[in-house]
Amino acid sequence: MSANLRAVRPSRLTSRLASSGQLFRANPRLLAGTIIVTSIALLTIFAPLIARFNPEQANPYDVLLAPTRTYWLGTDSSGMDILSRLIYAPRVDLTIAFGATFLAIALGTPVGVLAGYYSSPVTELGMRIADVLQSFPALVLGMGLVVLSGQQIRNVILAIGIVNAPIYARMVRSQALQVRERLFIEGARAAGASDIAIVFRHLLPNSSGPIFALSSVTMGVAILLTAGLSFVGAGVRVPTPEWGSMIAIGAESLYEGGKWWPSVLPGLMLAITVMGFGLLGDSLAEVTDPKRRKF
């Protein structure tokens, strides 16, 4: 008996690895997105071991140095090591992105599922508020919220979470409108289940499937919004390493002195990261949606 179990376990592991390999081969975008996101996550975890300098320590004697053996990617206008700041920046950006995405899901999902199940003035008011929030440009709305609440990381998370919440509300509502017409919902009603039980036991679990794929996309959007807020001075404060603020600091050197590395390198890292989350989210949506699946 135990020998049979030992024989079965490796075969199951092998089959899972084979199916994962087949999935990545069939969808190269999923593989590329996974590699990028995993690499950025590893930078976040092992930043203290990889970075050679303190990312917030300025050195007035080493201002705007080109890449050298000491400073592999050069220094900025304050003499801070760009490579160390690039490595530490995901710690701030991913923290804000994860927090804002979680908050957006927590705010938007209940509104969407209730609006999809009930047709009442209260749920309609909730969706109209979501429409109003979506009508504003995300960066402008985020700037306004940060200005009102204060320029701190938790307030940046709050602002971006509120900006992205209507996306989840509308997505979950559209799913709930379809799910509530299915036979198992009618069966639950016929069995005497309360509305609360139907919403939370049946409707919500069957309406929240696309959330995981959408969250990967909104993670990229949150990182981009964080960088945008920091670029205009409404986000993370200097000298905290963050890609948007690094681009803003390096922009003056680029325009006046042609020093490209302080702004181009963080911009490149920002673009690669957002692209990675976008590829991952789009691929997950394709994998989880039978209508879009190609394999």
Instruction: Give CA–CA dist 42/38, Å, rounded.
Output: 6
Instruction: Give CA–CA dist 140/63, Å, rounded.
Output: 33
- Mean pLDDT along residues 114-140: 83
Q: Amino acid identity, residue 136?
A: F
For 40-80, write each residue's pLDDT tens digit. Answer: 999 889 999 999 999 999 998 999 999 989 999 999 999 99
Instruction: Give CA–CA dist 217/175, Å, rounded.
Output: 18
At residue 237's C-alpha, the angle toward residues 236 and 243, to 5°, is: 55
CATH number where 158 lies: 1.10.3720.10
Binned at pLDDT 50, 70 and 90, residue 290 comes out as low
Please check whether residue 63 lies inside any domain of the structure. no
Sequence-distant (6+) residues with CB within 8 A of 83 are 51, 52, 53, 71, 72, 73
pLDDT for residue 14 is more than 80: no
**Domain of 179, in residue numbers:** 22-47+91-288
Please check whether residue 60 lies inside any domain of the structure. no
Please check whether residue 263 lies inside any domain of the structure. yes
> Residue 20: what pLDDT?
56
Please check whether residue 207 lies inside any domain of the structure. yes
Do the beta carbons of residue 190 and residue 163 sit within 8 Å? no
Record the tokens describing residue 217, joined without a space: 């996309």
Please check whether residue 279 lies inside any domain of the structure. yes
Of the candidates 137, 135, 157, 136, the one whose C-alpha atom is nearest the C-alpha of residue 146 is 157
| Length of the chain measured in residues | 295
For 85-106, write each residue's pLDDT tens digit. Answer: 999 999 999 999 999 999 999 9
Instruction: Give CA–CA dist 221/219, Å, rounded.
Output: 5
Query: Quick one: which H or E segment has residue 42?
Result: helix 28-50
Record the tokens describing residue 252, joined without a space: 């003056």
Please check whether residue 13 lies inside any domain of the structure. no
* Domains in the chain, number: 1
Please give the mean pLDDT across all residues of the chain: 84
* Cβ neighbours of 35 (radius 10 Å): 14
**Least confident piece of the model among 25-29, 40-44, 201-205, 269-273:** 25-29
DSSP 8-state code for residue 1: -
pLDDT for residue 198 is more than 80: yes
SS3 205: helix
DSSP 8-state code for residue 75: B
Task: List, in sequence order, every residue forming a beta bridge with 75; answer none if it has no partner.
Answer: 81
pLDDT for residue 239 is more than 80: yes
